[in-house]
Structure 1
C-alpha cells in the first residue's frame, strides 16, 4: 500500500522537546516524513547524498548534521552499517496501529529490515503501543504478531531469547545477558553506549568443536613436496593484511571503543572497506592515516561523538562534520575533560592538520 500523503499532528508544536530542535533539523524531520519510500513500519533507506539535492542551498553535510541532531534527540534511529533510518514513533504518531490494513503492511515489511538495532527499537515502540493505546481487536492481533516476530529475531541475537512477547519491556530491549552459565558467545559488534538504545548481539554457538585428526589420517596426509617453497597468495581487497593503514584504523577504533567501556566490535570486511574508502576517496581536505587516528581519539573525548562513532562506517560518514566542529570550536573536549595528548595542537585552526 503506497503512501500518498504525510500526517503531521498540530500537537507537535506543544512538544517541548521538538521546539528545542533547530529549524534545519525540524525541516529534515518533516522531509523524512514525506518520503515516498518511507515504509509503514517507519523505516526508510539512508540516502543523505540524494536528499541533499532537494534544495539549492542544501549540502550533504547539512543533511548529515540535521539527522545527527534528530538522532541525538531520539526522533530517529540510524544504522550506518545497514544504511537504514527509523522514525522512532512513526507507527504511533501516524496512527498506523488504528488501521488494520496499514498495520498489516507494516508487519509485512519487518523481514526487509536488516538492522538489529532498529528492530530492537521498534520492538520497544510496539510494546509501548500495546500497553498504552486502545485499538480494534484486529489491529491488536497484528500488533502482537509483530511483537512476537521481533522478539524472536532480536532474541536470536541474545543469549537468552524470550519465548513469548514482552508486555512491558525494559528501556534496553536486549537485556544484558549474564556472563555466567552460558556458552561463550561469538563477538558481534554493538553500537551505542551500554544500556542505551543498543542491543547486545552475542550469538551462542551450538556447533560442536571439530574433532582432532586421528594419527592414521595425519599419516595419510600427503602435502605437496614443494609446499614450503610455494608463496602464499596475496590477500584480497579489504581482507586482513591487504592494507596495513586500513588495518591500523580498524584496530585503533576497536581498541578505543573498548577503552571507552564498549564491547569490542568484530572487525569485518565492511569495516575495512569503509576505512579504505575514508582514506582513498576525494575530499576537500585530504585525509591520511595520522589524521584519522587522531580523529578517533578526539571523538572518544566527546560524549556525543563517542556515542555516534561506533564503526568505521559512521567514522567515514561523520568525518568531515567532526573536522568542521573541531577546527571551528577549537575545543579540546567537553567541559571538564581534556582531549588526549595527540589532540593538543598549538593552533586550534589546524586540529586535523597537525
Structure 2
C-alpha cells in the first residue's frame, strides 16, 4: 500500500553523512522518499526509465549512476532482479513504528516485497531498532515480533560495504529467535584505570561470555595505552550489538581492537566500546589491509575464518 505523504525530519540537515552527499545524491534520495509508490516498508519500484521522467533533462544512465552511489553510501538498497529499492533507514526515521495502525500496514507491505534480499535487510534493520528501543509501540504487536524472527542480514552482505576478509554468516543468529535479556541489578568490575563513579543498579546488563571476552580484550588494550575509562552499560550494549546485530565474530572484533589500539592515530581516539562500534566499518578496512600485508592469505583465512 502506497503512502499519501512523506515524513522528512528537518534534523536530516544536521547529519554529517547526509551533508557529505552530492546534490544529485540528495535529489534522488528525496525523490525516492517522496515517491507516490513508496510503501510503508520503505520499498518502491526501481525503474530508472520511469524515475528519469520526474526531472527534465535526466537520463536513465544518471539515475543508475546516482543510485549506485547512494547504495555505496548505504542510503538505499537496490535489487535489480525484482526491480525494487529499499530506503534502508526508512523505518528508523519515518515514525511508523510508533503508530499501531501503520505498524500493521508496514507488516503487510513487507509481505508484498518480492525481493528476498530486501526482505532480509528490512528484518535486520527492525532487529537493530528492537535492540535499541524494545519498548517501542510496534514491538507489542505479535506480527512484528514474528517478523523479527525471520532471516535477516545487513545490506553490507549484498553490496560493496562488506570486504572479503569479513564474510559474514547467512543463517539467522540466536538474537533473531529470542528476545533480548532484560536489564537487572548486577555489578561489573572496572579496570584499574577506571573512574571512581559506580554504575547505578539499572546501568548494567547481565554478562555474556562472548561479550565479556571482547570487553576484557579492549580494557586490557586501553590499560596498556594508559587510558582512563569506565566499563558501564554502554560497553555491554555496544559489544552485544557488534556480535548480534552487526554479526561479527569475537575473533574479528579482537583483530579490529588490536589494530585500533596500536595504530598511532586510532589509539588516541578509540577509548570505549561505543566509539569502537561507531568507527568499526572504517577500522575493519584498515585492519584488513594490515593483515593482508603481514600474513599470507591462506594463513589469515585459516586463523580467522576469513575468505581469500
TM-score (norm 2): 0.50
**What residue number does 2:69 align with?**
69
Cα distance in structure 2, aligned partners of 1:158 and 1:136: 29
Long gaps (5+) in structure 1: 174-195, 197-354
- 1:228 maps to none
Going from structure 1 to structure 2, the CA distance change for 1:65 and 1:143 (only over 3 Å counts) comes to same
1:55-97 CA-to-partner distances (Å, cap 9, x unmatched) read 1111111111111111011000111122211100101110110
The answer for the alignment partner of 1:124 in structure 2 is 124
1:146 matched to 2:147? The reply is: yes
Alignment of 1:313-352 (within 5 A): none
Give, in whole Å, the separation in 2 of the partners of 1:120 and 1:137: 18
Change (3 A) 1:99 1:142: farther
SS at match of 2:16: coil
Residues 100 and 138, structure 2, Cα contact 8 Å, conserved in 1: no
The change in CA–CA distance for 1:160 and 1:108 in structure 2 (over 3 A counts) is closer
How many angstroms does 1:35 deviate by? 1.0
Counting matched residue pairs gives 175
Aligned to 1:46: 46
Residues 139 and 60 (structure 1 numbering): CA distance in 2 closer, same or farther, change over 3 Å? farther
> What is the CA distance between 1:14 and its match in structure 2?
0.6
Q: Relative to 1, partners in 2 of residues 1:137 and 1:112: Cα closer, same or farther, differing over 3 Å?
A: closer
Unaligned runs of 5+ in 2: 154-168, 181-240, 249-280, 282-308
Q: Secondary structure at the match of 1:117?
A: helix
| 1:171 partnered with 2:246 | yes
Cα 1:61–1:99 change in 2 (3 A) is same
TM-score normalised by structure 1 residue count: 0.44
- Looking at structure 1, the residues matched to 107 and 66 of structure 2 have their Cα atoms a distance apart, in angstroms, of 29
Q: Does residue 128 of structure 2 align to residue 136 of structure 1?
A: no
Report the aligned-residue RMSD: 3.3
